[in-house]
Chains A and B, each alone.
Chain A
């Protein structure tokens, strides 16, 4: 931090550690709303930095030059932010538990099928990437398409690969619980589906 005009040249780049929880540099974690988790992460990954940043001493030093009023406001604000972040997390969790992944086999032309996978986005997966993966894995066409209602996107894979997709999801994306995956075969057409 003590640079003069002459010392600026050809210094190696500074390496900055970023928090694994909120992605901010650790000194700004307190403004991210997930301070507690960030602190835990820092203990686990960079204990020396943690002792430097979270010591009693540092906290009082930082606060001392703010007026009492401003301190109170800042604290209140931080609390509100933390509560907000917590609520958002809880909401996401329940949403995740409730949301389902549907793997649907649709008859296209007598013995030919396409497989439609919907609901993956609720688990934070990138549909475009997964579609590409499917295409590669099954060596078929695979794309992201609008679903029937036009309300969202789904992945359409050519061919009947519903069971394989089920297995693949469990193997590569364990964050999608097995119970939340549902296989659907179009009932009416099932009769003509053969074996």
Chain B
């Protein structure tokens, strides 16, 4: 989605009522973020709304991008937020071979997740917190993508296919149009 670097549009302050709505929405989408929400979105601080191309709005606090949203899609965290609180999001892992494709903006394909290096939730032997409590993720859920042998997440996006289906089919696109490290949103300078 942010493969090209872009110039941000207008920047405006978010009404406090809208700010509360965002807070509630974030909490609803990422319940595990609750203990940290006051650190990420302090109640009294003034959020800014930044319009960026393709009808994406980016919420930021001071110079820090926090969340972005494409039209009325789910609110997605910026990767810098994910890097701070990686345990608060449902995670999957890709194998080593897929990293370079993801980092150049390709659609994440399912074989990168089902191969021995990849991890999907619902696996018995997933371990490392990838099990998601044995629950499968459905299509349309926001998921953080980590990489084999790396500690930090490299991408965040919406699943195009449920993880159960992935296990069965083992091919096709898994996540399209995500936000990955080194893309336009990552490189965006707010100051």
A residues at B contact (CB < 8 Å): 1-5, 7-11, 13-16, 22-25, 27-28, 31-32, 61-62, 65-66, 70, 74, 77-78
**Contact B182 A24, beta carbon cutoff 8 Å:** yes
Chain B contacts of A27 at CB under 8 A? 150-152
Knowing A2-B129, A23-B182, A65-B117, say if A13 contacts B36 (CB, 8 Å).
Answer: yes
Question: Which residues of chain B are near A23, meaning CB under 8 Å?
Answer: 182, 186-187
B182 in complex: contacting residue of A2, A16, A22, A65, CB < 8 Å: A22
B87 and A25 contacting across the interface, CB-CB below 8 Å = no
Q: How many A-B residue pairs have CB under 8 A?
A: 74
Flag the segment in B9-17, B59-67, B93-101, B160-168 that touches A: B93-101
* Interface range, B side: 20 to 34
Measured in the bound complex, the distance between the Cα atoms of B128 and A50 in whole Å is 25
Check if A65 sits within 8 Å of B116, measured CB to CB.
yes
Q: Is the interface of A mostly helix, strand, loop or mixed?
A: loop
Q: How far is the CA of A49 from the CA of B152 in the complex (A)?
A: 14
Given A24-B182, A31-B99, A66-B96, check contact A8 B88 (CB 8 Å): yes
Which residues on B are within 8 Å of A, measured CB to CB?
A: 32, 35-36, 39, 80, 83-88, 96-97, 99-100, 103-104, 116-117, 128-129, 133, 149-152, 154, 181-182, 186-187
Contact A13 B84 (CB under 8 A): yes
Select which of B32, B97, B186 is within 8 A of A66 by beta carbon: B97
Across the interface, do A31 and B103 meet the contact criterion of CB distance under 8 Å?
yes
How far, in Å, is B86 (CB) from chain A's closest CB? 7
Complex CA distance for A66 and B115, rounded to whole angstroms: 11
Residue in A7, A22, A25, A62 whose CB lies within 8 Å of B96:
A62
B36 touches A65 (CB 8 A): no
Q: Which of B39, B129, B150, B186 contacts A13 (CB 8 A)?
A: B39
B87 is contacted by which of A11, A15, A74 (Cβ under 8 Å)?
A11
- Please give, as numbers and ranges, the residues of chain B lying within 8 Å of A9 by CB-CB distance: 35
Query: Ordered nearest first, which 6 A-B pairs have the shortest CB separation?
Result: A13-B84, A16-B83, A3-B87, A31-B103, A25-B152, A10-B35
Partner of B32, one of A8, A22, A70, A77: A8
Determine whether the beta carbon of A14 is less than 8 Å from that of B103.
Answer: no
Cβ–Cβ contact A14 & B85, under 8 A: yes
- Please give me the residue from chain A that is nearest to B153 by CB atom: A25
25 A-B pairs within 8 Å (CB atoms) are namely A1-B129, A2-B128, A7-B87, A9-B35, A11-B85, A14-B83, A14-B85, A16-B152, A22-B182, A23-B182, A23-B187, A24-B181, A25-B150, A25-B151, A25-B152, A27-B152, A28-B99, A28-B152, A28-B181, A31-B103, A31-B104, A31-B182, A32-B103, A61-B149, A65-B96
> Are B100 and A31 in contact, with the CB atoms below 8 A?
yes
Q: Evaluate whether A1 and B152 lie within 8 angstroms (CB atoms) in the complex, with A23-B187, A28-B182, A70-B97 already known.
A: no
Residues of A within 8 A of B152 (CB): 16, 25, 27-28
Residue of A nearest to B181 (CB): A24
B100: chain A residues within 8 A (beta carbon): 31, 74, 77-78
B149 to chain A, nearest CB (A): 6
Which chain B residue lies CB-closest to A22? B182
In the assembled complex, the Cα of A168 lies from the Cα of B79 at a distance in Å of 38
* Chain A residue nearest in CB terms to B100: A31
Asked whether, in the complex, the Cβ of A28 is within 8 Å of the Cβ of B96, the reply is no
